[in-house]
Amino acid sequence: MNQIDPIQEIFNLDRTLYSPAHIASLAFGHAGHLFAGSDDGSLRIYDLSSYKVLKAVRAIGAEVSSIICVKKPGSELRDAWIAHGQKISRFQMESPKMIQTLEDALLTLEVGQTESETLNELALNANKSHLAFTMDSGVIGVIDLADNSVTKMEAKHENICATVKFVPDRPRELVSGGYDTSLIHFDSVQGKVLSQRQMEPYAAVEGMSLAPPFIMAMAMAATGVLAAGTADGRLWLGFGGEKGSKKKAKKWEGLDENKALLIKVAEGPVVALLTISTLMGVVTQYQLNYDEAGGSVVLQQLWQTESANIEKVNALLADDKRIIVGGFASDGRGVIEIWRQMSGSKEESQPPSDTK
């Protein structure tokens, strides 16, 4: 693995938005709408041109830990599936109500019963036919959106299951990551394990004991490459499932240890990928080039900054032109930073913050 010098493209802080409660989750509606969930059980939709709140949901009853936006025909506003406590609800944001409550949900499913069954992350497959969820209990489940039936996988993580992703072009295959330091690949229809990978602890440095490699976040590229961020500041990269010219395999092989790399990229937990953020707000963007024939990887750091406003990062979004980070500030307020890609020097002036 080689590293090359950063390029000159940078991101400048475009806007800082504040909310009364900590930001727990973020999602794009379409390119111009930002959905933000908070730990007080509220959801806000921001217009990213005016930075005003367009719609909101309040009194949901528990932290909004994850959001999935689904296009609604004939509407500019996406519907929202949200995870909150032990429940998953769907809201129609095109509703004439400016502010909705849980009673306005189109559907609410209770998939857990106890505190250990609190929900973490949601994921939607490419066919938009099944919604996956993860729990503090280590359980991974799938909802069939045709009839809203719930299936839980036969195996589970031994500790918190933090993250889940469907495999591109394989709508019945998914991968989960947990605090038991393992990645598990499932057939979501049969509920069976297809493959598994265990993270090895990072060696202690000069007598210092580092955090175990809890899997905090994952990202799955459209090409089938998997990236997983760990609590000890490493990035695990699996290339075994990458699409190529060869005939499509019977199952995704992204956890193949012979086609994987584990790279130290940060001094703290990595909570978002492949634009990554540490828990304390150091945001870095990488470009990763993998030469399958030569078996080499070139890692190029494109940009890095440290948040001036966020005390702890809980969520991160990125597209071609923006990086959006959410969490809370030192004064306890929720905060969202919106960084836009610009040409020029880091000394360019930044606009003032907005309070929402």
Tell me the per-residue pLDDT of 52-69, one tens digit each, with 9 for 90 and over.
999 999 999 999 999 999
Specify whether the CB–CB gap between 142 and 164 falls below 8 A: no
Same domain, 132 and 93: no
* pLDDT at position 346 over 50: no
Half-sphere exposure of 217 (CA within 13 A, CB side): 24
Q: Is residue 333 a part of any domain in this protein? A: yes
Same domain, 334 and 258: no
Same domain, 137 and 272: yes
Question: What CATH number is given to the structural domain containing 260?
Answer: 2.130.10.10
* pLDDT at position 290 over 90: no
Same domain, 142 and 245: yes
Provide the pLDDT for residue 263. Answer: 75
Predicted confidence (pLDDT) per residue in 261-273, tens digit? 777 766 666 555 5
Predicted confidence (pLDDT) per residue in 8-44, tens digit? 457 889 999 999 999 999 999 988 999 999 999 999 9
Q: Is residue 290 a part of any domain in this protein? A: yes
**Which range marks the domain in which residue 300 is found?**
115-306
Please measure the distance between the N-terminal and C-terminal CA atoms of the chain and give it in whole angstroms. Answer: 44
Count of domains for the chain = 2
Same domain, 158 and 260: yes
Same domain, 169 and 133: yes
Same domain, 165 and 91: no
Confidence of residue 210 (pLDDT cuts 50, 70, 90): low
* pLDDT at position 111 over 90: yes
Reported pTM: 0.87
Q: What is the mean pLDDT of residues 189-196?
A: 94
Same domain, 25 and 136: no
Task: Please name every residue paired with 289 in a beta bridge, in sequence order, or none if there are none.
Answer: 298
Same domain, 128 and 102: no
